[in-house]
Amino acid sequence: MGSLLILERLSTRVFLWMSNASHMVLLAGVLSALASLLAVGALALNDFRSARANDLSHATMLARILEDQATRTFETAELVLEALAIAPALNSVTADPRRMEEALTQALTGLSFLRSLAVLDPGGRIVASTQKGDAETFLDMSRLGGKAIFGRGILGSLTPGRSLQALRLHGVAPPAPAGVAFVPMLYGYKNEAGHELTLVALVNPDSLSNFQHLTLETDSFDSVVTSYGGQVLATSGAAAGFMGTWVHQRLPVFTQYLPGKEHAAYMGAGVLGENQIVGFRVSATKPLLVIVEESSRSAVQRWLREARALLGIGIALVLLVLGLTYVVWRSVRTREFARRAVDAAHARIARNERELSVLMRSVQELIFRTDADGVITYVNAHWTAFTGDAATRARGQNLRDIVVPLSRADVARVLNPTSPEGVRTCQVVLNLGESKEMMLQLAVVPLLSEGRVTGFAGSAVDVTERWIAQQQLQAQLAFQDLLLETNPLPISVTDDQGRFVLVNKAWEHYQGWQRAKVLGRELVSCLPADEAKVHQASNVQLLRWGGRALLEIKVRHGDGSRRDTRIAKAAIEDEHGRVTGVLSILMDVSEFREAERATREARDAAEEASRAKSEFVANMSHELRTPLQSILGFAELGMLRGRTQPKLAEMFEDIHLAGKRMLTLVNDLLEVSKLESTVGTFHLERIDLRGVVRPVIRELEPLLERSHLMMDVDLSDTPLVAKADPLRFQQVIRNVVANAIKFSPPGSTITLQGFMDPQGQAHLVVQDEGPGIPESELETIFEAFVQSSKTKDGSGGTGLGLAICRKIVEAMGGQIYARNVPASGAAFHIILPARGQTETLPASLELE
């Protein structure tokens, strides 16, 4: 019972507190301030999440740029070694060390990213080098990176030192300054005498670091280039202390993402710390990895600097709400005190005018009479209808005391005994108590006796509804003015004569004009001639036809600059539907347009670089084919003439095989140049695909026998009719089956099926029993220069075959895709539609 009594008393006190208007205002103000604070916090949180997503995307983009540069650097080094391997100065039987060094020095000219070039014999002896004093030095080949591979460049580990003397087998290596190192690239080849030699290029990691520093100069990101195994090869500066160290065991890049994902961004451990924004990308052709990262703390500090305005506006909004709450609370408190004073005065009103009571009851207006001092001596029955109080309570009250303070001056004017006016009128606000007010229209006449004012008689009409409507209209107009002034977009209104009738503060700042100087003036006298002409033309159409319009022009800003501005216009109509003016809203879109221009310029630059690369590849490939044909011809001639000398015939056979491998590489390069240009037209014919497929299988039978594989061809007994280019389709079958042979284990079977599906399309399936393809790579293996992660060692070729197949099949209106077989291996599906008539189809094999 005691707790219930306490609860009842508490609820009574809360009710009494809530019934007080000032307390309600205070509570509403505090709740509004809390709501504003929560809204600002939500906006700040959303802005922070957007900034974090932008940082991750930016890190990914920077990683892609730096990976491309690093890959090109090492590819260029490999290309130089390939060219030197076939140079007469290094390949000739009579080549001496002096001529070799001259050729190496000439090749090194202009290659700032290479420290030196050298030729080694199988024993690790330096035959020739661009670094003076290196010749005849024996090197520790195990530290250099192992045995070179013929016809392909391999990378070694980062080695401290300035030259190959750092790897000498005997003696003490010369000291090297701190931070000076190189990355060796080895390329094996045989000279004309059949001697195995190794070309070595020492790549300067500082060239990679310089490019990283220039790329990230304006960003707060740092970058690291590592080997695929995790050794740090180059940094942008902040991570210089990690050069040569192995980071693969502590970074999620190596422990969680590779080899499943070759590029991604995440929040977590990086090279420089545990709480980093990290983006990485793996090179498609080299065992390299680029990591770009930024401290999460730096990102938060940058966001706080950028969000300073938002936070300031939020705090100002909360303070504004609290200030307005205080002002309203003080006003309500004052009104409560005034109401109490009026209630006390009502107790003193007690006068009657009984002689006029019957007459006054029949009048529909409030009739009253006062003495010369304004004290009410009589009111009719309508007093009760107006106030709800008995008429007797009104008597004895002064008329000035029952109106609000703002109306007392008007009451004093109409009750002035010395005024010569006869009928006097005014509007007063009657205070009815409990925060209720009534607007009355008073008409008062003085009562004279012997030339002296002895009192006043008057009537009152209730005009409260009209007064409230006027107040609401004024409040709405004030709110609209507030919205207009606080709107961040420049807004103006012109009349039907083209004169400014309204502008907001944002317009003043944007146009550089003060409001007092433009209102009433025509826009042609305030705006530049070209802007005014556009405005006038649009305004004429809106004034004539109404509706809305959207423009975009260059506008002269208040600071003198020209801004790209989008202008939204709308016709303003009056209550009769006539257009009386035009509303104009300006939006600055300069930053958007500048971003579009920057994007377009970057795309044009990338396309120009791609075109130059394609031309270079095509020209180099054509230049290489001429000497290769001679090499192959003489090798075949030597094989024929050397049949009686097995050792000589074996040497010519080695030369012939190496030349064929080189020719295959050149043909791949030519195919790349074709993929990046328009091939021409496809000559489609209505053919039976069975007759196209079987010759390709017979062509590949020697390769099947050498690999100890079986080929099961199961083609439909009915014709596999489709519209296709026979030669191009054979190229597709040859590439797909060759891939199956390459990755199938000895003793397994490759199956080729062909049938017509229910849609009337020719459907071919090539299935092997190899290692299969990771699910995440079933689509990416059809992209140019992309290989499956299971063939990252290079056995998968150049990564062009499947990309060429997809382009050819899609150009013929078909599709090609890969699926894993549940047991083992992969299946490649090729689908071609049957067309209605003979046609020659233009097709572009441009590489995407």
**In contact, 573 and 546? CB cutoff 8 Å:** yes
Over its C-alpha atoms, the chain yields an Rg (Å, rounded) of 46
Say what the pLDDT of residue 816 is.
93
Chain Cα centroid distance, residue 732: 38
Beta strand 366-371 with 452-462 is: antiparallel
Tokens of residue 167, six digits: 């790897």
| pTM, rounded to two decimals | 0.40
- Segment holding 182, helix H or strand E: strand 181-190
Query: Cα separation of 747 and 174, whole Å?
Result: 55
Say what the pLDDT of residue 837 is.
42
Query: Cα separation of 405 and 461, whole Å?
Result: 20
Q: Which residues neighbour 473 within 8 Å (Cβ) at sequence distance 6 or greater? A: none
Beta strand 749-756 with 710-715 is: parallel
Query: Cα separation of 469 and 728, whole Å?
Result: 84
Beta strand 222-227 with 232-235 is: antiparallel
**In contact, 36 and 236? CB cutoff 8 Å:** no
Cα–Cα nearest to 335, from 406, 412, 428: 406
Say what the pLDDT of residue 814 is.
92
**In contact, 817 and 736? CB cutoff 8 Å:** no
Query: Cα separation of 471 and 478, whole Å?
Result: 10
Q: Which residues neighbour 709 within 8 Å (Cβ) at sequence distance 6 or greater? A: 741, 744, 746, 747, 748, 749, 750
- C-alpha angle 641/703/847, rounded to 5°? 105
Q: Left, alpha or beta for 250 (phi > 0: left; psi -120 to 50: alpha)?
A: alpha
Q: What is the pLDDT of residues 263-312, one digit of tens each?
A: 888 888 888 888 888 999 998 888 889 998 888 888 888 888 877 777 78
**In contact, 768 and 748? CB cutoff 8 Å:** yes
Chain Cα centroid distance, residue 315: 29
Tokens of residue 366, six digits: 């409030």
10-residue averages of pLDDT along the chain (848 residues): 59 55 75 81 83 85 88 88 84 78 84 87 86 84 79 85 82 78 89 85 86 77 88 81 83 86 87 87 89 86 78 81 80 78 66 52 71 83 73 79 82 82 83 74 83 83 80 81 82 87 84 83 84 85 86 83 86 85 86 82 75 66 67 77 78 79 70 54 83 90 89 90 90 89 89 91 92 86 77 58 86 91 87 64 43
Say what the pLDDT of residue 184 is.
92
Q: What is the pLDDT of residues 603-614, one digit of tens each?
A: 877 777 766 666
Crossing angle for the helix pair 97-108 and 21-85, to the nearest 10 degrees: 150
**In contact, 798 and 669? CB cutoff 8 Å:** no
- C-alpha angle 648/654/655, rounded to 5°? 90
Say what the pLDDT of residue 843 is.
44
Beta strand 710-715 with 680-688 is: unpaired
Query: Cα separation of 836 and 721, whole Å?
Result: 11
Query: Cα separation of 538 and 675, whole Å?
Result: 50
Go through the chain and tell me how many residues it has: 848
In the β-sheet with 826-832, what is the strand arrangement from edge to edge? 710-715, 749-756, 762-767, 826-832, 815-820
Distances (CA, A) of 500 to 115, 304, 483, 491, 515: 72, 41, 19, 11, 9
Distances (CA, A) of 637 to 94, 385, 442, 643, 662: 21, 130, 129, 10, 18
Q: Where are the alpha helices (DSSP H) in 113-235?
A: 141-144, 205-215
Query: Cα separation of 314 and 323, whole Å?
Result: 14
Query: Cα separation of 257 and 686, whole Å?
Result: 48
Tokens of residue 7, six digits: 């609860």
Query: Cα separation of 263 and 293, whole Å?
Result: 13
Say what the pLDDT of residue 672 is.
59
Cα–Cα nearest to 165, from 116, 205, 204: 116
Say what the pLDDT of residue 767 is.
92
**In contact, 621 and 629? CB cutoff 8 Å:** no
Say what the pLDDT of residue 675 is.
54
Tokens of residue 445, six digits: 């006449």
